[in-house]
Structure 1
Amino acid sequence: MNPKTKLGAVAVMAVATLITPAAVSSTSASADIAASALSADPPAYSPPDAEARNRAVTTANATIAMRSEALLKGQNEKFTLIANISGAQGLQYLTYARTYRGLPVFGGEVIVSTDRAGELVGSVSSGQQSRITVDVTSKVDAAAATATARAQVSTVESVSTPRLLVHAATTTPKLAWEVVVTGANGETPSVLHVFVDALDGSIVDSYDEVRAGTGNSYYNGNPVTIQTSGSGSSYSMTDTTRPGLRCGGQGGTAYTGTDDAWGTGSGTNLETACVDALYAAQTEWNMLRNWLGRNGFNGSGGAFPARVGLSAVNAYWTGSYTNFGRNQANNRQATSMDVVGHEYGHAVFQYSGATVSNTTEAGGLNESTGDIFGALTEHYANQPATLDPPDYLVGEEVNLVGAGEIRNMYNPAALGDPNCYTSPFNYEVHAGAGPQNHWFYLLAEGTNPVGKPASPVCSGPSTLTGIGIQKAGQIFQAGLNSKTSPWTHPKARKATVAAAKALFSGCVEVNAVKAAWSAVNVPLQSGEATCP
């Protein structure tokens, strides 16, 4: 089995951690698990007040009206605000959906970022590449589109009602039916969005909400404290302080008990797996808030359930919950810190910016996103060497298929993955995580960090100085908040350069972002922010 096939673009990391019996309590949340790891920088989580949010809407509306020509807006198109989330230092990101003659436009979203006060525009981004001039009369009926979509999934459980829209994520907008098929391809679950050309019945595009993945297995130490709920003789592995977060078996119901002590400490015990999953998810939630200024996995204060006991050497983000299996040796569950961090990192990707097409390049960037959030969670927890110390290896302790780590972020080529970006980008999505993983390490740590592995460069200066993982994470998340379809390495460069300029005064961080991208062969982009 090739371990590279076990890390998905949106939900790639799962990690197993063992605890002793009666070691887990819900008497206190893990909100301060890594307080000692925080820097002296201003607090990242400082959301704008209602007045500032209203100003941001006014500013964004005016900006879109003023830039309608550049945004390729025609007279038959309208924009509607669908999301307004805040990020580090209260920067605001407003997402607008586009309609054409009343039909939704996939790929036509516009994202406007403002400062915390909602007065100054930081960036305006849209994935649409051409004006829309399509006829909205379909020549292929909904039933035919449904049959085409169903054929893309081997075992079908349900099919959505087809939705007529304009697909504008490619160079030529097309009228299309969107059909969502839920089921499985072999052992891999699928929630596949299929776009069927409404004129000739061909498949225009597709993307799957499910991303397959694997990760680390390591012990979090005993005892650990997790947030559960209940009282008296009735308790549940449900975290009411993080809406939507709970853990249980494959049926989706949270585990319950007569006391608030969970797990046996065995690597094969599923209640123990839920302890690890909750501990890691709660740690990641805190990291998102305290380091990156994000309110929950979805950016709006929401979380997603976790399931354990998946009968597979794998783990998944399904688009609505995480699902964790086991390693090949069947002696531990795949619920370690960085694996759980990876899977929920895919949720962050899904709920940041616009929905993107499932190209191989976007898949690699999505897979890398999971790795980056796994590393961020490990560094925030900052566990000692006797547990799971922070590093930039993926899956080394779970030993998923007996081959050690499955990815190396500081030198992807050590495992046969590309260190450097090339265009066209035609790598398998798991290998395709390499260039952005490499970029993130160079940005956070540099080429020769003290006490950490050296990292090569693909081109340019041989020595780079890192800015620290917290700043790198803030810049990365802010870049994701401006994500549009199609999502590419050059667009990620442009978005993260703009993010660095918005987040930090001076030019140190901006120039570090530029240098790290250049070091992995992603070149300077037209319209890229400059500093000074």
Structure 2
Amino acid sequence: MRRRALLAAAAGIAAVAVMAPTTPASAKPPGATGAERVAADPRASAATAADRAVASGLDELRVSPDEAYQRTAVTPTGGLYSVTYQRSYKGLPVVGGDAVVIADGLGRVRDTAAAAGAVRGVPTTAEVSADTALETAKGRLSRVDDSRAPRLVVLAWGERPVLAWEATVSGLADGRPSIQHVFVDARTGEVADAYDDVKAGTGTGYYYGSVTINTSGSGSSYSMTDGTRSGIRCGGQNGSAYTGTDDAWGTGSGTNLETACVDGLYGVQREWDMLRDWLGRNGINGNGGGFPMRVGLADVNAYWNGSYTNFGHSQDNQRQATPIDVVAHEFGHAIFQTTPGGAGSGNENGGINEATGDVFGALTEAYANNPNDPPDYQVGEEVNLVGDGPIRYMYNPSLAGDPNCWSSSIPSTEVHAAAGPLNHWFYLLAEGSAPGGGKPNSPICSGGPSSVSGIGIQKAGKIYMGALARKTSSWRYAGVRSASLAAAVELYGASSAECAATKAAWNAVSVPVQSGEPTCSSSA
């Protein structure tokens, strides 16, 4: 049901072992031609082609005799299909063993990527007990609320694969919510790696005027549950959607949580529509699904925790952190997690994750084009979260003290600051270094081109979405550069202005040329 709001303030696919595929025609009507079979089920054709590529060890997909791939998902992306896989080694899951094959509905492989090379010679017997590993993991939190029994894995993210216990613990770290995956070396007992499902962010304003949002219900029973977008609902900290006896929500107050949900639903519904209309993605997770959101978090913050988004308030407690760019940022983390390779680990990967949230915030703000919150490539400009104005500036990250340019220090930079080079790249690609029309100029890093010509935010978004379809868990800035160039070539051709602009924008933020990266045949 569609409703008028008084104020806008604020499926899993089972793993399939890769084996010699059956003839794709087996489920088709007798006598159908090859072209008719493909047209009838392009998704199956793409999956079959990807399975064959994996089974043959094509390009980066080669593995050792002790490893096997399992297909985990087939996701439509911009007219192609992103087919993802996970590896096992002697029956153990390989963390960092993910791979992705890009294929089309005609059964042709377009691209491949793998997070790590083949695993060989790793012992499979632990010398450290699971209980000891769990206690080590708990030590990373200041308060432990819950934990999960560790599982034995091969961790392939580092310089060499190691046998490790993966322990999941949740609670508080430095007073903030945390759900950590801690990898304890099963031979030495040392922490080999860790990542946090909770991706923290911050917010913006809440006044959008009277807007229409999708809810559900009839008669005298209504719910802030979107009946048209699976998984999308909004409520308080108990996880239940707000309900009411009529179909009008919110009071217009910045402290009213029902009003915050009006804003939150308005934002995520615009993001869902933007993904469909501009980027060809079906829902937040790519397969027609989304995630719940909660408001009323007692913190000057907002975050994604791997299962839902949660939104707090400004420092003066006068506004909820649920405007378009913040809502779309937090759901942008969900998009990052549900594209190939998942969330990954490390500060550089985390910075890419944070910038991805900002990119989807900018895209959604542009798509909504609400006059009360015009598109501006700023993050948190309306909420004035702590009294300092915007939190980040995509066109010039240094205005908030973040790096404009990539350097060897990025891997040790705090994740929100490490987002700077990717945010800067996206603005340059979308708008250029001197866009005019009242849009701010954007600086170019030392050694870069004299200027960059923008291609428009929708095309820039398509290229970045195409890059995300090639993501692996070991992604760093070098990988984003190569993947985005592959996407630009796929979408627009090697001789296109779009490909040239993609390359020029990376050069302008000092991400170096990569060996074997796709080539643009025209100059920027």
TM-score (norm 2): 0.90
Structure 2: distance between partners of 1:187 and 1:170:
29
Asked if 1:409 corresponds to 2:397, the answer is no
Closer, same or farther: CA 91–81 of 1 in aligned 2, 3 Å: same
Aligned residue in 2 for 1:79:
69
Matched, 1:427 2:417: no
Task: Determine if the alignment matches structure 1 residue 93 to structure 2 residue 93.
Answer: no
Give the SS at the match of 2:286: coil
1:329 to 293, 297, 316: 316
Does the C-alpha gap of structure 1 residues 457 and 22 become closer, same or farther in structure 2, counting only changes over 3 Å?
A: closer
> Where does residue 51 of structure 1 map in the other structure?
41
Alignment partners' CA distance in 2, 1:68 and 1:217: 49
Taking the aligned partners of 1:125 and 1:110, their CA distance within structure 2 comes to 6
Q: Distance in 2 between matches of 1:201 and 1:521?
A: 38
Cα deviations across residues 308-347 of structure 1 (Å, max 9, x unaligned)?
0111111111110110000011111110110101010011
Please name the residue that 1:126 is paired with: 114
Question: Contact 1:392–1:410 (CA<8 Å) still a contact in 2?
Answer: yes
Aligned with residue 202 of structure 1, among 169, 190, 195: 190
Deviations 1:165-223 (A, max 9, x none): 1111122001111111111124311110011111111111111000111021142122x
1:375-524 aligned at under 5 Å gives the runs 375-384=362-371, 387-425=372-410, 426-451=412-437, 452-458=439-445, 459-505=447-493, 506-524=495-513
> What is the DSSP-based 3-state SS (H/G/I as helix, E as strand, rest coil) of the residue aligned with 1:301?
strand
- Equivalent of 1:221 in 193, 209, 233: 209
**Residue in 1 aligned with 2:94?**
105
**Structure 2: tracts of 5 or more residues without a match:** 9-37
Partner deviation per Cα, 1:5-28 (whole Å, 9 max, x = no partner): xxxxxxxxxxxxxx997468xxxx
- The answer on whether the counterparts of 1:188 and 1:212 sit within 8 Å (CA) in structure 2 is no
Residues 1:144 and 1:503: Cα distance change in structure 2 (over 3 Å) = same
| 1:266 aligned residue | 253
Q: Aligned partners of 1:382, 1:140: CA distance in 2, in Å?
A: 56
Deviation digits for residues 426-459 of structure 1 (CA, Å, limit 9, x no counterpart)? 2111111110000000000001112111111113
CA–CA distance in structure 2, aligned partners of residues 120 and 252 of structure 1: 43
SS class of match (1:137) = coil
Kept after mapping to 2: 8 A contact 1:111/1:482: yes
- Is the contact made by 1:21 and 1:264 (CA closer than 8 Å) also made in structure 2? no
Name the SS of the counterpart of 1:105 in structure 2.
strand
SS of 2:135's equivalent in the other structure is: helix
For residues 221 and 326 of structure 2, the distance between their equivalents in structure 1, rounded to whole angstroms, comes to 30
Match 1:362 to one of 344, 349, 359: 349
Contact 1:110 1:126 in 2 (8 A): yes
1:73-101 per-position Cα deviation (integer Å, ceiling 9, x unaligned): 0111111100110111x111000110111
Q: For 2:359, what is the secondary structure of its paired residue?
A: helix
How many residue pairs get matched?
486
1:317 to 301, 304, 311: 304
Q: Point out the more displaced range, 212-221 or 412-421.
A: 212-221
Distance 1:190 1:23, change over 3 A: closer
Q: Percent of pairs identical after alignment?
A: 56
- Give the CA deviation at 1:70: 4.2
The question of whether the paired residues in 1 share the 8 Å contact of 2:7 and 2:259 is answered with no
Does residue 148 in structure 1 map to residue 136 in structure 2? yes
CA distance in 2, matches of 1:403, 1:221: 25
Aligned partners of 2:41 and 2:520: how far apart in 1? 31
Aligned-pair CA distance for 1:272: 0.1
Deviation (angstroms), 1:118: 4.1
Q: Are the aligned partners of 1:129 and 1:171 in contact in 2 as well (CA < 8 Å)? A: no
Please list the CA deviations of residues 403-435 of structure 1 after superposition, one character each: whole Å capped at 9, or x if unmatched: 001111001112211110002422111111110
Change (3 A) 1:274 1:92: same
Determine if contact 1:165/1:178 at 8 Å carries over to the other structure. Answer: yes
Report the Cα offset of residue 351 of structure 1: 0.6
RMSD: 1.7
8 Å Cα contact 2:200/2:302 also seen in 1: yes
Does residue 1:277 correspond to 2:264, yes or no? yes
Change (3 A) 1:123 1:263: same
| Gap change, CA 1:23 and 1:486, over 3 Å in 2 | closer
1:356, 1:486 within 8 Å by CA — same for their partners in 2? no
Measured after TM superposition, the shift of residue 531 of structure 1 is: 3.2
Residues 81 and 96, structure 1, Cα contact 8 Å, conserved in 2: yes
Distance 1:303 1:69, change over 3 A: closer
Contact (CA 8 Å) 1:205, 1:357: kept in 2 or not?
no
The answer to whether the 8 Å contact 2:7/2:262 transfers is: no
My pick for the range that moved more, 242-251 or 67-76, is: 67-76
2:335 is matched with 348
CA contact (8 A) 1:21 1:265 kept: no
Residue type of the partner of 1:414? Answer: L
Contact 1:164/1:176 (8 A) holds in 2: yes
Contact in 1 for aligned 2:63/2:117 (Cα 8 Å): no
Partners of 1:215 and 1:73 lie apart in 2 by: 44
Q: Does 1:238 align with 2:225?
A: yes
Instruction: Determine helix, strand or coil for the equivalent of 1:95.
Output: strand
Match of 1:514, SS state, is helix
CA contact (8 A) 2:231 2:291 kept: yes
Gap runs ≥5 in structure 1: 1-18, 25-47
